[in-house]
Amino acid sequence: MPELGRAALVVAFGLLLYAAVAGAVAAVRGRRRLLESARNALFAAFGAVVVAAIVLLAALADNDFSLTYVADHTSIELPLGYTLAAFWSGQEGSLLLWLLVLTGMGAAAVALNGRLTRDVLPWTVPILGAVASFFAFLLVVVASPFATAAAPADGAGLNPSLQNPYMMAHPPLLYLGFVGLTIPFAFAMAALASKRMDERWIIATRRWTLASWTFLGFAILLGAKWAYEEVGWGGWYAWDPVENAALMPWLVATAFLHSVMVQEKKNMLRVWNVVLVAGAFALSLFGTFLTRSGVINSIHSFTQSSIGAWFLAFIAVVVAVSVALILVRLPLLRSPTRLESLVSREAAFLYNNLFLVALALTILWGVVFPLVSEAVRGVALTVGAPYYNFFAIAFGLPLVLLMGIGPLVAWRRASLRALGRSLVWPAGVALVAGVVLALVGARSNPAALVGYTFAAFVLAAIVLEFVRGTRARRAIAGESWPAAFAGLVGRNRRRYGGYVVHAAIVVLLIGAAGIGGFGTTSEAKLAPGQTIRAGDYALTYLASGERRGANAVEARAQFSVERGDDDLGIVSAGRNRYLAEQQVSNEVAIRSDWLRAEDRFVIVNQFNADGSVSVKTLVNPLVNFIWLGGLLFVLGSIVTMWPDAREQRRLARQAAAFGYTPA
């Protein structure tokens, strides 16, 4: 029923345009019913987009190849899970997912914050409507998922790289992150437009920002896990432009989550915060542009298309409008408070912001440099991993250090003596850890050794914070240790959840430094019976064979694995030849040894005619710390987002004083 899908998108486009225009008129002229009507249009648009999404999902499930999108991204033999996941595997479906999430989140944010921000809302509705109108326009005019043609007997199938369970979760989470950043952007710009620069827009968007940031961070890690297992080069992050596309807005949003606390506590950094919100949103659009335009070669970019120019124009409009609005409202944004000392919590947040934004801008330059060089010199020069690694270490290590120092510094100002006393234990632990690690061999990679020493410092500082906080609470309330600990975290969820997130980043850093600094690789052409060694392991090639899978011919080579006298069993690695897609993918073998905290990784690059195989094997130490860090990251984020009863009471009191009910 593609006609229904097309009609639903046209209706959604009309509704969103109406929400943008009628909402703006209502805001300028102060018309109540017109604003309610515009808000209803936003809600109705979500309903219309849901109808379009259902039509596409039904067409995918039915293998309705009369839809070009279905024919181009699925085949009869493709398993149902991947057939449905093809919804976001192509450009048109991805745009529809963007619009679905955007209208859904926009409608929910407006409905939930309607009373709290009632005098900001008149501008929130048209801004959300305008952003969503752009995506609806693309879907209606430029890239319709409901285009039809004569149905082929079978579809072209799905890119083999996308036939991976992580790809079923990674794109939706990524889009929840990208799209979610629209909400703080819309509220911040609406606050500027309506000259309401109190903290309500921050309260209204706090959880939306945290949730979007969490989704984006988790999506980046799922993408890394996918790359680790599916792309088959043995690494987890390659500074690929599309990977960077998600990392840049995440870094800027991270900066915002820190600096907004300075605004809440000290009423400072007000200009900086709206700049960060606008920057994170613009970078999320830029990320979508990179992923979907096909302008940059990437292992993650599955499309070549003509929407790039539209995206660039829209990003230019967003940046121009944001800059103009910020400049016009600059007098209202100026903070009455000044930084009291360079040694204070707010100063630490400021330093952290500078490093985070510098890292994001450095990555941005690395991503756009090939485009700039091609435009100026006609040659697309690429920026390699050494460039990114240098800046990741140069800006990343001070950031890690700040994660340890920041929590130990008091707000307003701290004397160096008090700070020194706080630092004694973490610095001592770090020193001991550094010396021990150097003695056991970690000095072969100085950057990793420094990273581990800093990691020990941060973890010790976090433990110290929990211990001192619990002890202080115990002294105040006379509670038992467990009750004091629960009370401490329960009453300061953002702070202590944030420390868990810091610990997660450190755990991730331990894994990244392990695989990057101490991994071993061996490559060889092996005949049956021959052995290759990597680290402590011996890999003996036994035999190879083929079998027919659900939608591919699966060639596998078997290897026995030994460490010393221990027989560790058999592993299989090889390649899948996908029939409908006419493409080949590497299917690597990964064996995790949790006790030794390392992965054995086997890649078969080629099956040779003489019966030999070209094999590459790696030992990736500590790599699973990266995934463990991801889980810890989600746990910490949930703690920070958990509703705070005291904050709710404060808002209720404030709301009662002004005759409205908080969300």
Partner 1 sequence: VTLAAVILAVLLALACVAIVARPFLREPEPDNDRLAELPAAERERLLLLEERDRALAALKELEFDHRTGKVSDEDYRELVGPLRRQAAEALRALDPDPRREEPSARREDVHA
Sole residue written with tokens 């030999």: 612
In the β-sheet with 598-607, what is the strand arrangement from edge to edge?
520-526, 613-621, 598-607, 589-593
Instruction: Find the shortest distance in angstroms from Cβ 421 to partner 1.
Output: 7
Beta-carbon neighbour count of residue 430 at 10 Å? 23
Closer residue to partner 1 (CB): 129 or 516 = 129
Taking CB under 8 A as the binding criterion, the range among 128-136, 263-271, 426-434, 594-602 that sits at the site for partner 1 is 263-271
Beta-carbon neighbour count of residue 627 at 10 Å? 19
Instruction: Find the shortest distance in angstroms from Cβ 11 to partner 1.
Output: 5
Closer residue to partner 1 (CB): 350 or 356 = 350
* Residue 316, token pair as written in the block: 């230019």
Q: Which residues contact 431 (CB under 8 A, 6 or more apart)?
A: 453
Task: Please report whether residue 47 would count as binding partner 1 according to CB under 8 A.
Answer: yes
Answer for which of 294, 380, 468, 592 binds partner 1 (CB under 8 A) is 468
The three-state secondary structure class of 313 is: helix
Alpha helices per DSSP H over 478-566: 481-491, 493-518
x/- letters, 191..220, toward partner 1 (CB under 8 A): -----x-xx---------------------
Task: Please report whether residue 462 would count as binding partner 1 according to CB under 8 A.
Answer: no
| Among 502, 498, 568, CA closest to 539 | 568
Identity of the residue numbered 33: R
Instruction: Find the shortest distance in angstroms from Cβ 659 to partner 1.
Output: 9
Distance CA 589, CA 612 (A): 18
Closer residue to partner 1 (CB): 264 or 536 = 264
Closer residue to partner 1 (CB): 102 or 602 = 102
Answer for which of 145, 469, 497, 629 binds partner 1 (CB under 8 A) is 469
Task: Please report whether residue 471 would count as binding partner 1 according to CB under 8 A.
Answer: yes
Half-sphere exposure of 29 (CA within 13 A, CB side): 11
Task: Please report whether residue 37 would count as binding partner 1 according to CB under 8 A.
Answer: yes
* Residue 123, token pair as written in the block: 């501008």
Distance CA 259, CA 92 (A): 36
Q: Are 19 and 42 in contact (CB under 8 A)?
A: yes
**Between residue 617 and residue 656, which ones bind partner 1 under the rule CB under 8 A?**
646, 649-650, 653-654
Task: Please report whether residue 334 would count as binding partner 1 according to CB under 8 A.
Answer: no
Answer for which of 16, 17, 20, 35 binds partner 1 (CB under 8 A) is 35
Q: Which residues contact 541 (CB under 8 A, 6 or more apart)?
A: 526, 527, 528, 529, 530, 531, 532, 557, 558, 559, 612, 613, 615
Answer for which of 84, 339, 361, 418 binds partner 1 (CB under 8 A) is 418
Answer for which of 118, 577, 591, 596 binds partner 1 (CB under 8 A) is 118
Taking CB under 8 A as the binding criterion, the range among 224-232, 310-318, 414-422, 572-580 that sits at the site for partner 1 is 414-422
Closer residue to partner 1 (CB): 495 or 596 = 495
Instruction: Find the shortest distance in angstroms from Cβ 201 to partner 1.
Output: 12
Instruction: Find the shortest distance in angstroms from Cβ 93 to partner 1.
Output: 20
Q: Are 314 and 134 in contact (CB under 8 A)?
A: yes
Closer residue to partner 1 (CB): 77 or 199 = 199
Residue 28 has phi, psi (to 5 degrees) of -70, -45
Answer for which of 108, 112, 326, 410 binds partner 1 (CB under 8 A) is 410
Instruction: Find the shortest distance in angstroms from Cβ 445 to partner 1.
Output: 35
* Residue 80, token pair as written in the block: 């149902």
Q: What is the CA radius of gyration of the chain?
A: 27
Task: Please report whether residue 461 would count as binding partner 1 according to CB under 8 A.
Answer: no
Residue 599 has phi, psi (to 5 degrees) of -110, 140
Task: Please report whether residue 367 would count as binding partner 1 according to CB under 8 A.
Answer: no
Closer residue to partner 1 (CB): 436 or 467 = 467
Angle at 542 between CA 540 and CA 543, to 5 degrees: 145
Identity of the residue numbered 70: V
Closer residue to partner 1 (CB): 129 or 217 = 129
* Residue 297, token pair as written in the block: 């070669």
Task: Please report whether residue 657 would count as binding partner 1 according to CB under 8 A.
Answer: yes
Q: Which residues contact 340 (CB under 8 A, 6 or more apart)?
A: 412, 413
Q: Where on the chain is the footprint of partner 1 (CB under 8 A)?
A: 1-4, 7-8, 11, 15, 18, 26-27, 30-37, 40-41, 43-45, 47-48, 51, 118-119, 122, 196, 198-199, 264-267, 408-415, 417-418, 421-422, 468-469, 471-472, 475-476, 491, 646, 649-650, 653-654, 657-658
